[in-house]
A and B are shown apart, each in its own frame.
Chain A
Amino acid sequence: MCSYITEKAPIFGSAKGRHGWMRVDTAVIYYDHPVHVPLDHALNIDFVDSRSKERVAVELSADSARELVRRIQAALDSGDAIHLGSAEADPLQLASAS
């Protein structure tokens, strides 16, 4: 598609990159030409630490990405059922509320 169109999501988390674990605060998502996976177009996600600008990148086929979305939702749903009532607040919600 040759575009610079991206979706960006604020996140709170960690990712393991070339220098070990790091905090990541942004996910940059785009469906365009990948660098490595042997496809013309892929769903690409960069988990980024905006301070160091380091990233952990993944490139997925479109079907893989859709399946991942479903599995993430399923994992969240089952986790919510198990951990319902947990007092832990998500730092991302705290940050957006402040």
Chain B
Amino acid sequence: MTYRDITCEVVKFTAHNGEQGEAYYARPAGPGPFPGVVLIHHIPGWNEFCIEAARKLAHHGFATICNNLYFRMGDGDPDDIGARARAEGGVSDEQMLGDVAGAMAFLRAQSNANGKVGIIGFCSGGRQTYLSACRLPNVNAAVDCWGGRVMADPAALNAKQPVAPIDFSKDLNCPMLGLFGNDDKEPSPEQVNKTEAILKDLGKTYEFHRYDGAGHAFFDWSRPSYRPEQAMDGWKKAIDFFHHNLG
């Protein structure tokens, strides 16, 4: 079932350490009850691609919140704020987890929520989705879209990202869907295979899909990496997965 009538607005929510965060909130019109999804934006920031992806999920029946992980860095064009975030070494994992937990609480507090919340993220947001699904309680489903650096070289770890998400895999507490391009370098097919092997050994519930002819960011219609056929199939798998686990 799809919803042509959706409502979208920028909202305030309680983020990490009680700070007031901002988020794009798109949800279907009607009494519900509706499942919720937190959409974690990619490394370039809180930009049009992610906002549009939130509207797509609302169209398919999910109350979707895309919180701006960079709201502490001021106002401006998303790409300028994204550059500022990058220059500062990005956001810390702890701060990100606090923000995502706040976004989840916002969704569950809505009067027409069904109480179930999933997380989806792209690129760095895929890594953050993996981490959130392992570290946060009460995540009901997670979709990791080509999250890079889930497996990280120890030399790449730092104070803001001190532990590779893969090292928290034993704590994964929800079903996970992974979508990956076989031409991607980060994560590479080998890294995807290793991640899958770890989840399998741990007895986790997951399904990974790998696409030939696609690399990184193949959903992103604004980039040359866009692959319409693979993107359409990936979106269908993500939406079906959320309906199955959050409905």
* A and B are partners in one complex rather than unrelated chains: yes
A residues contacting B by CB (< 8 A) are 1-6, 8, 26, 28, 30, 32-33, 35-36, 38-40, 46, 48, 53, 55, 57
Closest 7 pairs (CB-CB, A-B)? A2-B148, A4-B90, A35-B79, A2-B124, A28-B87, A38-B224, A2-B123
A-B contact pairs, 23 of them (CB 8 A): A2-B42, A2-B43, A2-B123, A2-B148, A2-B149, A3-B148, A3-B156, A4-B160, A6-B87, A26-B87, A33-B43, A33-B217, A33-B223, A35-B44, A35-B82, A38-B223, A40-B216, A40-B217, A40-B224, A48-B87, A53-B84, A55-B80, A57-B80
Using CB atoms, name the residue of chain A closest to B86. Answer: A4
B147 at the interface (CB under 8 A from A): yes
Decide if A30 touches B84 in the complex (CB within 8 Å).
no
Given contacts A33-B217, A35-B79, A53-B74, contact A1 B223 (CB under 8 A): no
- Beyond A4-B43, A40-B223, 4 additional pairs, beta carbon < 8 A: A2-B148, A3-B148, A3-B149, A6-B89
Which residue of chain B has its CB nearest to the CB of A28?
B87
Q: Which residues from 87 to 139 on chain B have a C-beta closer than 8 Å to any C-beta of chain A?
A: 87, 89-90, 123-124, 126-127
Within B205-247, which residues are at the interface with A (CB < 8 Å)? 215-217, 223-225
A48 to B87 alpha-carbon distance, docked (Å) = 10
Whole-angstrom distance between the alpha carbons of A70 and B85 in the complex? 30
- Closest residue on chain A to residue B79 by CB atoms: A35
Known interface pairs A2-B148, A2-B186; A55-B216 also in contact (CB < 8 Å): no
A53→B73 CA distance, assembly (Å) = 10
Are A28 and B216 in contact, with the CB atoms below 8 A? Answer: no
Task: Report the separation of the CA atoms of residues A89 and B247 in the bound assembly, to the nearest whole angstrom.
Answer: 69
* Beta-carbon contact of A6 and B86 below 8 Å: yes
Roughly how many angstroms separate A5 CA and B74 CA in the complex, as a whole number? Answer: 21
B224–A46 contact, CB under 8 A?
no
Residue contact B44 to A33, C-beta cutoff 8 Å: yes
Chain A residues with CB under 8 Å of B83's CB are: 28, 46, 55, 57
Closest to B123 in A: A2
* Whole-angstrom CA separation of A30 from B90 in the bound complex: 13
- Assuming the contacts A1-B148, A2-B127, A40-B225, asked whether A30 and B86 have C-beta atoms less than 8 A apart, the reply is yes
Contacts of B80 in A (CB 8 A): 55, 57
Q: State whether A46 touches B148 (Cβ < 8 A).
A: no
The CA of A50 and the CA of B126, in the complex, are separated in Å by 30
